[in-house]
Amino acid sequence: MIYKVIGIMSGSSLDGLDLVFAAIQEKGGAWSYEILEADCYPYPPQWVERLSQSTTLDAASYLVLDQEYGRFTGEKILEFIRDHGLDYQVHFICSHGHTSFHEPGRGMTAQLGSGASIAAVTGLPVINDLRAVDVALGGQGAPLVPIGEMHLFADYDLLLNLGGIANISCRDPEGYRAFDICPANRLLNAIAMTLEMTYDDGGKRAESGTLDPALLDHLNGLPYYHRKPPKSLDNAFATEILLPLVLESARGEGALRTVCEHIAIQISGALDLLGRTGPGKMLVTGGGAFNLFLMKRITGILAPREITVVIPDDRLVKFKEALIMAFIGVLRWRQMDNSLASVTGASRNSIGGALWSGKDD
C-alpha cells in the first residue's frame, strides 16, 4: 500500500512550520518515499514570542497554549492542502509538535500542539506525542529521526542534521546510534539577532569575525560534550547556558565566528564518541547546510578523517525531518516500532504516538 501522509516539524530554531506531503511505500521489507509537496510557513512574530516563552507559563496558561497552537497548526495544514490542491488525498497527519520541556532524566518530555485540536480543525486522523513512550521506558526520547534515516537513507554511513540543535546518526555493525551534538542554528540565530538580523545569511558575518580562543576552549570544555551517548539536549541549553556564556566574552561577528568553530569541533568530537575511525559518507541536512562558512569549517575539520560531506537538493535539506515525521506516522499506523532503543537508551524499541480520529465518515 502507498501511504499519502502529511508530516509536520517545528524545529527549535523557530523559523517556521515545515510541512511535507509524501507518498511512502513498503515492498518486501524495503521502504521508499517521494516528496510530492513541501512548504514552510514562517511563524508570525507573536507565535515566535509565545513559543519561546512557553516554559515560563503557569500550568493553566500552558494548556491553553497547547490547544491554541494545535488549532494554529491545523489551520496551517488546511492552508497547505488548499495551496497545493490536496483535497481528499491525505490519508492522515503526523505532527511532531513544538518541543517546550524535555527532561528525560526526570521522565518528562512535552511538545506543544494538541493532536485533538489538529484533528478537530482538519477533520483528518492525527498522530502526535511521539516521544512519550520512549521516555517512559527510560529513554532520551530523542533523536527521533534515526528510524527514518535507517530505512530511507541506507546509502549513508553518517547523517548530520544542522537544525536548531545539531544531531548525528551513525550506521555501524554494532547497530544504529544517534544523539544530539550541540546547539546550532538556535544559538547562531540568537547571536544574529543582536546584530539586528534574523540569521547570518551564508555565514558571511561569521567569516568576517575574529575567533576568540578562550571562549572556544570554555565552550568545548562544557560537561555535556564529554558524556557518552545516548544523550539529548533541550532548547534551554542554547538560550540559557551557551548564549550568556558567549555574549559575556564576544559580540557580533566574533561570537558568530567562534560558535561556528565550536559546532565544527563538536561534530568531529561526536565521531570520536561514536568510535568512528574509518572513511565514510555523511549526508548533511537542516538549515545550517545553507551556512556556507559553517559548512566550510565542518568539511575542513572532517577532511583528515576521510569523511565525504554530501549536501542534497534544497528540498531534502529543508524538509528531511518533516518527511521522517510522515514516515514515523506510517510506522505508528501499522503498529510497528518507530523508536530505536539503541539510539535513545530505552529498555526496548517502542511504538510511539497518540492517534486522534478525524471525521466520523
Average pLDDT over residues 129-150: 95
Q: Is the pLDDT of residue 167 over 90?
A: yes
Average pLDDT over residues 35-51: 96
pLDDT tens-digit map of 309-330: 999 999 999 999 999 999 999 9
**How many whole angstroms from its chain centre is CA 118?**
21
What pLDDT does 174 receive?
67
Please state which of the ranges 62-66, 275-279, 285-289 shows the lowest mean pLDDT. 275-279
In the block, residue with C-alpha cell 496551517: 76
Rounded CA gap, 265 and 219, in Å? 10
DSSP string, 316-332: HHHHHHHHHHHHHHHHH
What pLDDT does 361 receive?
56
What pLDDT does 75 receive?
98
The whole model's pTM is what? 0.90
What pLDDT does 293 receive?
98
Q: How far is CA 352 from CA 129, 241, 261, 330, 349, in A?
A: 7, 30, 36, 11, 9
Q: How far is CA 288 from CA 113, 155, 162, 189, 337, in A?
A: 25, 22, 5, 10, 30
A 10 A CB-CB count for 139 gives 26
What structural domains does the chain harbor?
Answer: 2-142+319-356 (3.30.420.40), 146-316 (3.30.420.40)
Rounded CA gap, 61 and 18, in Å? 25
Q: Is the pLDDT of residue 305 over 90?
A: yes
What pLDDT does 237 receive?
92
pLDDT tens-digit map of 290-300: 999 999 999 99
